[in-house]
């Protein structure tokens, strides 16, 4: 790495671009090398000047031009560190930006010191996330972990059902009434009641409605529809609940 950090600004608002240029110009370690006003121009200048850091606005010629430009730049010049600029961070934009490999996400109203620190942190490989962004990412990872755990746990419970219990559960998720299920499967209501009780017990829920709610929340009915009959079953037709 060179001693001077070369920074390119991609921002279509002249006043905001000037502010960033003035902030960068006050630090002798940072060299402002140019400014682009569109995603297309930013991509061209990135290829021409090979900056160390790019301050990239998200909304340029359209609302996602900055994201497209960042993706293009990182595909062909992955060593460049991109800091996305925005006035209002949304979860979707934050996660899409980080998924494509941007280094950090800065709010446009951040202080001059915070902007300079973010540029240097990115250059030296120590990006520090704004508290709002860090909180979003932490919550998203927690949510993903919870969903994955829940999905695996409930798939495991599905494998504990007998073929008959799985068929009953499938009909319940399709909103068949109990009387309709009894007629379709040619069973007595007491038999169906026992089968449903077994399903509830295996899922450790209070009611079959609770079971259906969690399975729908995890989109398991759609998964079952695509893979009908492919889940391994621990029970068989001699389970005692079969008719």
30: DSSP letter: E
Integer Cα distance of 122 and 156 in angstroms: 43
**Mean pLDDT per 10-residue section of the chain, whose length is 243 residues:** 85 93 94 95 95 94 90 92 78 70 81 90 73 51 57 77 87 90 93 94 90 80 54 39 36
Beta strands in the chain (DSSP E): 5-10, 30-36, 53-57, 81-86, 104-107
The confidence score (pLDDT) of residue 102 equals: 84
80: DSSP letter: S
Integer Cα distance of 56 and 53 in angstroms: 9
Integer Cα distance of 155 and 195 in angstroms: 18
Integer Cα distance of 213 and 228 in angstroms: 20
Axis-axis angle for helices 208-217, 131-159 (nearest 10): 130
| Chain region(s) in the chain for CATH 3.40.50.2300 | 5-129, 138-226
Integer Cα distance of 172 and 168 in angstroms: 6
pTM greater than 0.85 (yes/no): no
What CATH topology corresponds to 5-129? Rossmann fold (3.40.50)
CATH superfamily for 138-226 is Response regulator (3.40.50.2300)
The confidence score (pLDDT) of residue 17 equals: 94
The confidence score (pLDDT) of residue 87 equals: 74
The confidence score (pLDDT) of residue 68 equals: 92
Integer Cα distance of 188 and 107 in angstroms: 64
The confidence score (pLDDT) of residue 160 equals: 84
The confidence score (pLDDT) of residue 193 equals: 94
């Amino acid at each position: 790495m060179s001693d001077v950090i070369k920074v390119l600004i991609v921002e279509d608002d002249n006043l905001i671009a000037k502010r960033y240029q003035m902030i960068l110009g006050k630090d002798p370690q940072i060299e402002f090398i140019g400014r682009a006003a569109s995603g297309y121009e930013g991509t061209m200048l990135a290829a021409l000047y090979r900056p160390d850091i790019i301050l990239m606005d998200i909304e340029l010629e359209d609302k996602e031009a900055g994201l497209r430009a960042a993706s293009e730049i990182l595909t062909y010049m992955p060593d460049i560190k991109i800091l996305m600029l925005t006035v209002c961070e949304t979860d979707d934009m934050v996660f899409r930006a980080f998924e494509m490999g941007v280094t950090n996400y800065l709010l446009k109203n951040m202080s001059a010191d915070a902007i300079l620190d973010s540029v240097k942190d990115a250059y030296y490989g120590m990006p520090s996330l704004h508290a709002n962004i860090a909180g979003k990412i932490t919550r998203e990872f927690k949510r993903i972990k919870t969903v994955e755990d829940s999905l695996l746990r409930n798939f495991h419970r599905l494998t504990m059902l007998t073929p008959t219990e799985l068929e009953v559960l499938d009909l319940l998720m399709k909103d068949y009434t109990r009387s309709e299920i009894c007629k379709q499967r040619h069973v007595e209501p007491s038999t169906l009641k026992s089968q449903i009780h077994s399903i509830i017990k295996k899922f450790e829920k209070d009611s079959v409605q609770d079971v259906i709610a969690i399975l729908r929340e995890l989109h398991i009915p759609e998964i079952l529809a695509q893979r009908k009959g492919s889940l391994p079953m621990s029970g068989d037709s001699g389970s005692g609940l079969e008719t």
